[in-house]
Amino acid sequence: MEEKTVRSVSEFNNELKLKGFKAFQIEDDSNATRIYSRKDFFKICLTTGHSKIHYADKSFDQQGTILFFGNPHIPYSWETISTTYTGYTILFSEEFLKQSERSESLHQSPFFKIGGTPVLRISEEQRLFLNTLFQKMIEEQKSDYTYKDELIRSYIHLIIHESLKLQPSENNNEGRNGTSRIASVFLELLERQFPIESADSPLRMTTAKDYAQNLNIHVNYLNRAVKEITGKSTTSHITERIATEAKALLQHTDWNIAEIAYALGFEYPTYFNNFFKKHTGTNPKSHRKIEV
């Protein structure tokens, strides 16, 4: 049986998966927006500047220094408004932190939870202290010290515990209720499935009913919540995300059409062809030729 290829997101992503951790300084990074699989890695950023962060159903407009916590299972986007932006970023997998006996603090902290607050305002004194922790992690990842991973995990835990002492940012349009929570969890589950990196791991949830069953709610309740909060139907969100991923797979992999169809949850390539043409106006083969 012919072995299917694995989609390579980037060299950075491959290195990150291998080591489970990466720290870097933003101002020294000519490609600050690293390409990596968000569904696999937690993220902590210490940044100074003006930015707008959209996290699940919340938005944060922040100026000055902030500490941001990104959960790989919750969709978020970041708009940098400042002309200059400085700070540090660390990315780490849950498996990397699980090797520590204190890994439970990750799940107990409010920063990585859907209902929590992922943004903290940081004073100048706090920034100077946190800077040293990020700098130490950058130094350690380059060292030959045998127990450097354990030392790095200790720094991550220290950041989390120091953050628990701080007052959460109130500068957001939280407005959370049961309806918005259902909508945000749906968006989380949808985004969690992407990007697809192997043709052998097809999408598990492709319909509104699939998501409703996963959330243990009636599909009508899910549809009403998503429509009320986002203005679009559950099916529209699913369809648009699958179409976007289909374009990416056609452009960035050498998988054949049948493999892509299977990876996206289609039983037959014909079904995928009809879906793609309906939602993009062209067929998969033509799209691949245009992109090339």
DSSP 100-141: STTTHHHHHSGGGSTTS--EEE--HHHHHHHHHHHHHHHHHH
Q: What is the pLDDT of residue 184?
A: 80
Q: For the stretch 166-198, what's the b/e string if a residue is b when 16 or more beta carbons lie within 10 angstroms of its beta carbon?
A: eeebeebeeeeeebbbbbbbbbbbbbbbbbbbe
Residue 39, Cβ neighbours under 10 Å: how many? Answer: 14
Q: What is the pLDDT of residue 198?
A: 84
Cα 93 from Cα 42, distance rounded (Å): 6
For residue 8, give the amino acid letter.
Answer: S
pTM above 0.75, yes or no: no
pLDDT beneath 50: ranges in the chain? 1, 30-32, 170-171, 173-176, 292
Q: What is the pLDDT of residue 101?
A: 60
Cα 114 from Cα 176, distance rounded (Å): 11
Q: What is the pLDDT of residue 35?
A: 57
Terminal-to-terminal C-alpha distance of the chain: 28
Cα 49 from Cα 28, distance rounded (Å): 15
Helix axes 208-215 and 234-252, enclosed angle (nearest 10): 110
Tokens of residue 60, six digits: 């944060």
- Give the pLDDT confidence of 30-67 residue by residue, as tens digits: 444 565 556 678 899 999 999 888 776 677 888 999 99
Q: Select from 243, 225, 245, 247 the least CA-distant residue to 234.
A: 225
Structural element, H or E, at residue 162: helix 148-164
Q: What is the pLDDT of residue 213?
A: 87
Cα 212 from Cα 65, distance rounded (Å): 39
Q: What is the pLDDT of residue 15?
A: 74
Cα 15 from Cα 11, distance rounded (Å): 6
Q: Which residues pair with 22 in a beta bridge?
A: 91
Is 102 within 8 Å of 49 (Cβ atoms)?
no
Residue 47 CA neighbour count, 13 Å, CB half? 26
- Give the pLDDT confidence of 241-255 residue by residue, as tens digits: 999 999 999 988 899
Tokens of residue 5, six digits: 């290829």
Cα 62 from Cα 201, distance rounded (Å): 38
Cα 226 from Cα 8, distance rounded (Å): 32
